[in-house]
Structure 1
Amino acid sequence: MRKAKLIFVPIPGIGHLAPILEFAKWLFDRYDQFSLHHPIIVHNFSVFLGDTPSLDLFSKSSEKVFFFFSDFVESHKSHVRDAIINHVLPDSTSNSVPLVGLVLDFFCTAMIDVGKELCIPLYLFFTSTAAFLSLMLYLPSRHDQIGHEFEESDPESIIPGYAGPVPTRALPSFLFNKHVGYLSLLNYGRRFKEVEVLLNTLEELESHALKSLMEYSISTPPIYPLGPLIGKGQKILFHTHKAQNDEIMKWLDHQPPSSVVFLCFGSLGSFDEPQLIEIASGLERSGFRLLWSVRKDTGKRQSQSTKEIHQY
């Protein structure tokens, strides 16, 4: 049987690198028509084949991270193009190992230009939620009508994928900064429509958001929910244990359907004690059952932080 080759271009942040590599492993473990080709990873202002680095961005604000990655990846398109030409295309043109796709992290949308130049089918591996993808796809339409970033005085937004109007104060702070986060995410949202999206979620978890995405507009790209993809090594990284996991699942099984709110603020989502107290107070007043993944703020790198899970 002839093998087919996929190229993965992740960004070297643990919250993006781990899921896309887990997807690659899942794919190649289950479908023997694919051959494993080491991912191309942008790292330390060079391009490597098959490396698994991490990039220290935790001294930067979340707003600057978007700007940094946009500029960084854009400046490395020629390196990725050369790596594909020199290391991948020779096998593909010989008809022995056909190249069937370029799978990009959403921070790597600048590499869409490389795929188009080399006539490679393009896929986006989106590590976040369907709801956040809805927001990203909404930004270009909103900007075409309004022409500027969000402002604190803006009314609530009707965003496809969200069950109700979204208060302006609930939007991420980088959407209010024209010259850093907002313009970067606006550009990402435009480029998403040029690819097919592999979404790290599942229909049972985000049925409303996925249905809204499918019905939103003919300009919405093809979307394939295939998650959630969670590496087996995560229990070590986040200091969770089988007994704790079993306790959580047992508790969830005894709750009424659609009655639990799950909170997880991602790999950079640590809070100091006053913030945690304020969030906990609001959650308590809401009256909802909840499962909360809490990351302790140790003042160190994320990989040295600990993560605890609580159910109420």
Structure 2
Amino acid sequence: MTYAELVFVPSPGMGHLISMVEMAKLLIDREPQLSVTVLIMKLPFDSDFDSYANSLATSMDTARIRFVHLPRVNIDIEFSAGTFLTSFVEGNKPQVKRAVADIANSAGSNRQLGGLFLDMFCTTMIELADEIGVPSYVFFTSSAAFLGLMLHLQSLQDEQHLDITEFKDSATELDFPSFKNRLPAKVLPSVVLMKESVRTFLELARRMRATKGIVINTFDELEPHAVASLAGLGAPAVYPMGPLLNLNTKTKKKADGGRQGDGIMEWLDEQPPSSVVFLCFGSAGSFREDQVKEIAYALERSGHPFLWSLRRPPPKGKFELPSDCSDPAEVLPEGFLDRTASVGKVIGWAPQAAVLAHPAIGGFVSHCGWNSTLESVWYGVAVATWPIYAEQQFNAFELLVELGLAVEIKMDYRVNFQMESDVTVTADEIEGGIRKLMEEAGGDRRKKVKELGEKSRKALAEGGSSYLSLGCLIEDILSNMP
């Protein structure tokens, strides 16, 4: 028997790494001929990503997934919109090349390099696979609809020479093959609306077409129209294999002795079923003080029990992730914590999957990151959309209009690369969204989300759509080994 070693190259984001590792687990659990090496590119600054990546090697209980931490590259990276990730990936390409070559050279008569799996932001590395003579695959961490958007915009740019940046601040609605509904230009991701980044970003889509296949973190039953549209957009073989989620999150202990990390689940245990609105905006989501106060006013006026993950923005001009507030009272309205002590809980970091799984949760005010979207579907929790950056505005539109799984707080809210916005969402808008989310118990939207949650589990089970897609991918990998 010949064993195939697969090399995974995730980009340096928690959602990208976590879902890619979950895919690796599925592959090796299903096929004994496969093993995986994950190459970890270190960010040029300390972050939770680095510490999480370091912990993976010790927490994994399999000998067939190993992690190689590449040395941090001292490269001059411009911390500006649309250029950081590209510069980072290009700067790391030489040592990724060396690591892949070492793996290829160390293969024996019964073990050989079977292919590269590249994160959607690392597709410029397909040339490394071509040089060694192994197939390359893309791991796409967003939705099938967003892949369709990228492929379609790249065609418009290359074939019709359309300047996509002209849609910035436009009220135009656009037709896209991956959506049944017309898409407002205002929810296009910032990266395609800026001249300094659009061509580089769409180059990623151009290169995806040259790979053996694209693994997408979605499932057929969630996005049937979008998945079906991809072949007509010139995509290679597509493998919807989701939802790929790490649902075993624990309540995180904090450096302050766990003051904010402890007590979350115990507090939820005391709340009635489906009564609590959960507010959480991802690992990079935070708001300035005036916006925090508007959220607080809305929560207090709504009267619904709430669990609010409140993070402090990074210092101005610093390229860092948000951190927990040492004293939330400093940014909240005076007396807010005392007045809401019987109905609400303000926390820092939240064990999101564990919270969404709790029967007390009745709704989720979310930034609409794709992993968070899949978690909300898995646990059957309806969403109120409040996107912040990346493709989250697009995801919000898909959830709200295309799929009918959400209500709106603000669909086109966005921040710049310094995580600042010139828009303040009012307490009235927030309160209205929360009331609509929480006060339609038994409504069609909640039923639809819960049905999709059941379908997401069936998709991964034996005979399900994602299970069958995984089988097709393994067959392709083994039949295309050099």
Name the TM tier (shorter chain). 0.7 to 0.9
Select which of 63, 68, 74 maps to 2:84.
68
Larger Rg computed on CA atoms: 2
Q: Supply the distance in 2 between the matched residues of 1:116 and 1:143 (Cα, whole angstroms).
A: 26
User: Deviation of residue 140 (structure 1)?
Assistant: 1.0
Tell me which amino acid in the other structure corresponds to 2:30.
R
Kindly indicate whether residue 134 of structure 2 is the aligned counterpart of residue 120 of structure 1.
Answer: yes
Kindly indicate whether residue 30 of structure 2 is the aligned counterpart of residue 30 of structure 1.
Answer: yes
User: Deviation of residue 162 (structure 1)?
Assistant: 1.6
Partner of 2:11: 11
Partner of 2:69: 51
Kindly indicate whether residue 170 of structure 2 is the aligned counterpart of residue 156 of structure 1.
Answer: no
Select which of 292, 295, 306 maps to 2:349.
306
How do residues 222-241 of structure 1 correspond to structure 2 at under 5 angstroms? Answer: 222-236=237-251
Partner of 2:236: 221
Kindly indicate whether residue 151 of structure 2 is the aligned counterpart of residue 108 of structure 1.
Answer: no
User: Deviation of residue 235 (structure 1)?
Assistant: 5.0
User: Deviation of residue 295 (structure 1)?
Assistant: 5.3
Change (3 A) 1:30 1:225: same
Secondary structure at 1:268 match in 2:
coil
Q: Supply the distance in 1 between the matched residues of 2:148 and 2:182 (Cα, whole angstroms).
A: 13
Q: Supply the distance in 2 between the matched residues of 1:98 and 1:160 (Cα, whole angstroms).
A: 39
Q: Supply the distance in 2 between the matched residues of 1:54 and 1:237 (Cα, whole angstroms).
A: 27
Kindly indicate whether residue 190 of structure 2 is the aligned counterpart of residue 173 of structure 1.
Answer: yes
The 8 Å contact of residues 12 and 52 in structure 1, kept in 2 or not, is answered as no
Q: Supply the distance in 1 between the matched residues of 2:196 and 2:251 (Cα, whole angstroms).
A: 38
User: Deviation of residue 205 (structure 1)?
Assistant: 1.3
The 8 Å contact of residues 134 and 209 in structure 1, kept in 2 or not, is answered as yes
User: Deviation of residue 303 (structure 1)?
Assistant: 6.9
C-alpha offsets along residues 144-198 of structure 1, whole Å, 9 cap, x if unaligned?
Answer: 2134232234732111212211111122222211113x22221111111112100
Partner of 1:290: none
- Tell me the percent identity: 34
User: Deviation of residue 53 (structure 1)?
Assistant: 10
Select which of 207, 211, 218 maps to 1:191.
207
Say what the alpha-carbon RMSD is for the aligned residues: 3.8
User: Deviation of residue 114 (structure 1)?
Assistant: 0.6
Partner of 1:286: none
User: Deviation of residue 242 (structure 1)?
Assistant: 10
C-alpha offsets along residues 89-115 of structure 1, whole Å, 9 cap, x if unaligned?
Answer: 1233x3221211100111111111111
Change (3 A) 1:162 1:10: same
How does the TM-score come out when normalised to structure 1?
A: 0.74
Secondary structure at 1:107 match in 2:
coil
Q: Supply the distance in 2 between the matched residues of 1:105 and 1:21 (Cα, whole angstroms).
A: 12
Q: Supply the distance in 1 between the matched residues of 2:127 and 2:93 (Cα, whole angstroms).
A: 8
Q: Supply the distance in 2 between the matched residues of 1:36 and 1:157 (Cα, whole angstroms).
A: 41
The 8 Å contact of residues 41 and 70 in structure 2, kept in 1 or not, is answered as no
Q: Supply the distance in 2 between the matched residues of 1:242 and 1:115 (Cα, whole angstroms).
A: 50
Tell me which amino acid in the other structure corresponds to 1:50.
V
How does the TM-score come out when normalised to structure 2?
A: 0.50
Tell me which amino acid in the other structure corresponds to 2:240.
P
Partner of 1:95: 109
The 8 Å contact of residues 5 and 111 in structure 2, kept in 1 or not, is answered as yes
Tell me which amino acid in the other structure corresponds to 2:131.
E
Q: Supply the distance in 2 between the matched residues of 1:142 and 1:34 (Cα, whole angstroms).
A: 39
- Which runs of no fewer than 5 residues in structure 1 stay unpaired? 252-262, 282-292
User: Deviation of residue 27 (structure 1)?
Assistant: 1.8
Change (3 A) 1:54 1:167: farther
